[in-house]
Chains A and B, each alone.
Chain A
Amino acid sequence: MSRHTHTRTCAARPTGFALGPRAAAVLLLALFSPLLSRAQQQRPSEYEVKAVYLFNFSRFVSWPAGPAADSSRPFSICVLGKDPFGAALDSTLAGESIGGRKVVARRLAQPEQALDCRVLFISASEEARLKDILAALDKSSVLTVSDLPHFNELGGMIQFVLQGDRVRFAVNLDSASEARLTLSSNLLKVAVAVKGNPPRGE
């Protein structure tokens, strides 16, 4: 057991050569330089895909009449809290329109500002006050989306879930129904999980 007592056997022996730092730097450069200029983006980032999802969800949801339905105002996709999208959301929405309305991205600090948003992404930074946020949006017909764990359980509508390297989503139909949103069956078909029952008559 106590092999550490056997140091008398640990005869030193010359080690193999080692590589100097300059040689290492040259090697690294040699390795990467011909490739760097040609390298291109392989995969989109998680939030680039989520930005496209946010936009696409709009096509599968119908909203009731309300303040946000005013066709003279832009169609707002909002982010509450620390924005994880960077430029991805703006560039996804650039030049897009839905039902003749220009689609814009807005960043919000308070849930009260979200009442005229069509889609609201609640950032992970808001985890501590998630319940308050959802309460503030109660019956406001805003499609709530987040990647926070337990989001749908706490009353959110669409929760992003990562399955390996793929971004998918789960739907809480009860929350959507309470907000008088109608989600297309095509959206539900793709969801990895659906909580609640579809409204009658669909």
Chain B
Amino acid sequence: MKQLTTEPVACHWLAVRGEELMSIAYFAHPPHPPCPLCCRPFRGPGMVWDHRRPARSLCAAAIGFLSLCAASRPAWAVVSGDTPGASVKEQQLKGLSLEQLGNVEVTSVSKAPEQVWKTPAAIFVITQEDIRRSGATNIPEVLRMAPGVEVSQVDADHWSIAIRGFAGQFSKSLLVLIDGRSVYTQLYSGVYWQLQNVLLEDVDRIEIIRGPGGTIWGSNAVNGVINIITKTAGNTQGALVTAGGGNSVQGTGAAQFGGAIGKNGSYRVYSLGFVRGPQDHSDGGHFDDWRLGQLGFRTDWKFGSRDTFTFQGDTYRGEIGERTFIATFIPPAEPILEDSAGVSGGNLLARWNHQVSDGNGFQFQAYFDRTNLQDVELGETRDTFDLDFIQHLRIHGHHQLTWGLGARFSPSLFIQSSPGVNFTPASQTDTIYSGFVQYELPLVRDKLALTAGTKLEHNNFSGFEYQPTARLLWTPSAHQSFWAAVTRAVRTPSRVDQDLTFDIFVTNQPPPVYFVIQGNRRFQSEKLLGYELGYRTTITRNLYLDVTGFYNVYHQLQNYAAPSAVVGTSPITYVAFLLPYANGIQGHSIGAEVAPDWKINSWWQLRGSYSFLHLSLRDAPGLTDVGNLLSSYLGSSPRHMASFQSLLNLPGHVELDFSYRFVSALPAQAVSAYQTADLRCGWRFGERIEFSVVGQNLFQPSHPEFAGDPGPLVALKRGAYAKLVWRH
């Protein structure tokens, strides 16, 4: 009698089974149907193109790139005689043993589209394969491929990332999660993108929801949610080493090892580090170099068939080059300082998932996060303790009830490093208590479903908040789905909005004059009422189209109230115009996003996206914006964005990937329209080694994308790097 044992690899399977689209799980438990992810060549709308100069240097770069690809693969000619047909390939496959079959690498369509199909929200999923083939070197670069996401780079280590408007280095209306851990800071309700580093090879997928997601995710998910999900430890077994370098990314490397813990568990430990050089500065300043090192681990266990347990953590330390204004009183001036901000931090997260059956189960999650940041402008140490419980219940067979509770405590300490920037009180514990309930009601089985719910939350800045949603999903056939949604979402105040004093030096004409931006304790939440419509269809088996339109109504957006002048006498005599924050802007935005995906055949895929945004904002009656926030809102997000990607598998395990992007002008940032492209050429040598050469921002020697640093606009350099990935 033969004894059967569950092999260590079992944990792979257990891990895979436990997977579920996190963002989507709440919106819908999609009963069916798969839609092959595919697309069609993108045709831009009537955009204004810049024809001024020819593309000499780009062509040279691209052709040089290409010849590099071709030269290294003399195998073209050899395989050109083949006329591969499905039958030939299947005959080859049929000749394999079961074991060999299990080692065949397939072009897999992610599980995502099936679930995306049934999600009544504007969702886009970036898979690991998409990331690998994008040539992106960090999360912001990865996000460029998603429709409707406005990724603009300020300098080497600062970004503005926004969805559906309100772009800025401190974009406030976006919620970002890494493995369920919220990474927005209650200091300014934004994200320190520099600190959110993950080993890109470990990312399973990134789910991006455009539009309000406040019901489930809570405040701050006003214009979108970005949910970064890493692979389970069971899916990262073995060794992984990566090394790369180039001109912008001067050096990058990572090492990881994953193994089994007993029969039911698996782990991985990793380290990563990088050194990045400054971007292009017309004034010769090279302040924005950036280096960071990070260590982390993840363990996953499966107990029985129902319970999975995850424990993971990361710790990092780095230096972020910056240039800032610092207003001073003695002498009355505002010198520009260049500095390297010291950052460090870490997090620990535990999650218990109990799945009784499909649609029935609960999840309990707890995490701790610490973020320390210190530069010449300010410093902050912030701890966050967060607890979340979510339960799914299947009722009457097809009804789905989801509810949850959450609590967050975030003690922080502000460390003053310049006299002109202060927070009062210096030390504060921010709290959020929240609960949500959502019910999915099938109106016509498998055809029409209504999802309604609300989030209730109490926070220490604005008190009680409610954020309801109602969403309708109609799937008339297996090839089409329509959805519509009405959602209320709020962006709750942060410490900047309520507790800040920020001095700006204006002029030294005696007496010296300053502006003082003041946090306002009566600053309330910014409010959104969003109306959305969406349509998805598979035009042919390989051509998928996703169209979304939205109309957002905004109230109580931030501006500055009427200034009042005061005379200060300490340490010198000066005049200060006090500019308190107020909720004085209202209006609406209208927009659309189109994302076709065409999988022409098993070796060539084309994708495109176009997004349109029109903002119409004005001062609320009786409240005039004396600062420039209104024009900043209006002129910082592109009216048109377009992108195009081609993923091509060539003979001899060569991959040639091209991505193009167009962004229309940002008047408030003094940035004119630009278009540029990335090109990646990858080679696979067997199962273990992958080598790639990537060119980034190839169309011009450099181009600016967003303002933010004192001095002339920083332009993004044409970049190139090579990378080696080894797996064992």
- Contacts from A to B (Cβ < 8 Å): 1-7, 9-13, 15-21, 23-24, 27-28, 30-32, 35-46, 48-49, 51-53, 55-56, 60, 81-82, 84, 86-88, 91-92, 94, 123-128, 149-150, 153-154, 161-170, 173, 185-188, 190, 192-195, 197-198, 200-202
Contacts and interface: CB of A to CB of B under 8 A. Distances in A.
Contact of A39 (B14, B421, B603): B603
B500 A38 contact: no
Interface string B651-678: 1010010101000000011111111000
A194 B13 CA distance: 10
A194 B710 CA distance: 63
A9 B59 CA distance: 34
Contact of B188 (A1, A35, A193): A1
Contact of B90 (A20, A88, A170, A193): A88
Size category of the B interface is 35 or more
A142 to B, nearest CB: 20
Contacts of B601: 41
Interface in B63-93: 63, 66, 76-77, 79-80, 82, 84, 86-87, 89-90, 93
Interface stretch (B50-58, B242-250, B426-434): B50-58
B628 interface: yes
Nearest to A184: B98
Contacts of A153: 305, 357
Nearest to A189: B99
Contact of A23 (B55, B541, B653): B55
Contacts of A31: 62, 66, 656, 658
A150 B361 CA distance: 13
A82 B35 CA distance: 10
21 contacts: A2-B170, A7-B632, A16-B674, A18-B674, A20-B49, A21-B44, A28-B658, A30-B63, A38-B77, A40-B84, A40-B603, A42-B602, A46-B108, A48-B86, A49-B104, A88-B90, A127-B31, A165-B106, A167-B104, A190-B102, A194-B4
Nearest to A51: B90
B502 interface: yes
A2 B31 CA distance: 47
Contacts of B14: 193
A1 to B, nearest CB: 6
Contacts, number: 309
Nearest to B711: A9
Contacts of B564: none
Contacts of A18: 49-50, 52-53, 673-675, 699-700
Given A4-B169, A44-B106, A186-B98, A27 B62 contact: yes
Contacts of A198: 2, 4
B16 A162 contact: yes
A38 B80 contact: yes
Given A7-B707, A41-B603, A150 B4 contact: no
Interface string B12-56: 111011011000000000111110000000001000011111110
